[in-house]
Each structure stands twice: as structure tokens, then as C-alpha cells.
Amino acid sequence: MSTEKDDKWLDELISQSIDTTEPRFNAEEWKKKYPDAFQSILSRRAKPEPSGRSDILRMIFVHPIPSLSATAAVIIVVTGFLLTRNGQKPNGTTPEPQLVAQSPAKIVSMMSLRTTYQQGGWDALDRQFREILNTLGPGPSSLSMGQLLQNSNGF
């Protein structure tokens, strides 16, 4: 089995059983899943600049938003860290928190999992595990080696 023709049938058979599409972050789905968080971020554009240096940080750590996903919460924390280091951005304009599209694979990073546990405890971590499995898989091959080779010449 060394010709291109023989290799091609194997590739086709494997691709039928394994999902090889690259996982993509679906921003629209994120917005639907976390409407309150999304609106909260959008509404910041209209609000005046916070008077206290650490209003954003205080908001997250003293008054956590239950519906806010851990990732969005950390984005806001980071924004607060950036802005409160010297009080305001270099050009003096109102900060605009941005919705950051992360690679889906990042949700299995040690930092992401830690942050989720930090924010929401074990239940939140369990939910993230489900999200990971639904989003990233893997999808196991349901074919045995015999089935994979059943169309091969000589078998």
C-alpha cells in the first residue's frame, strides 16, 4: 500500500470518523449565552471615567457578577490593572473594555481553569469542563482497526 491512490482512500475514511475542522470561537453564541455580561461591557462606553483608581477591581472582587463568565471577569480585572497603575490611559481618554475573542483551546489552559475555580468554585469548573468537551471534543473514532482496513486491497 504505497501508491497515492491507496493513501487517499485511507485519508477519506479517517476524515469521515474524525472531526478535523479547526475549532473557532463563536462570538455570536457567546453574546447569546452571556447577554447580561455583554450588555454590561457595552454600557461602559456611555459611563463617565471611574473616580476611584480601583473601582473596576473592587467591582469584581467585592461585588462579583454571578452571570459574568470567569473569562470576561478577568478581562475586566486586567483592564482595571492597566488603568489604575497610573490612574488613566496615556492619552487621558475614557477606557473602553473590549470583548476579546480567545482561542477556544485557551479554555483548557491552567490559568483559565484556575480562574474559573477562583471565581465560581467547583460548580463553575464543572460547567467549564462540559463546555470544553462540547466545544473541543475530542470525537473518538468509532471504527475498529478492522473496519478501518476493511476496504483495503488484500483484506
Which positions touch another protein (CB under 8 A)?
52-54, 57-58, 61-62, 71, 74-75, 77-82, 84-86, 89, 98, 100, 102-103, 105-106, 108-111, 113-114, 117-118, 121-122, 125-126, 128-130, 132-134, 136, 138-142
Nearer to another protein, 4 or 90 (CB): 90
Nearer to another protein, 42 or 108 (CB): 108
Residue 106 CB coordination number (10 Å): 11
Residues 125 and 112: their CA atoms lie apart, in Å, by: 10
Q: Are 49 and 88 in contact (CB under 8 A)?
A: yes
Nearer to another protein, 2 or 81 (CB): 81
The minimum distance between CB 2 and another protein, in angstroms, equals 23
Of residues 155, 111, 151, the one with CA closest to residue 11: 151
C-alpha cell at 133: 468537551
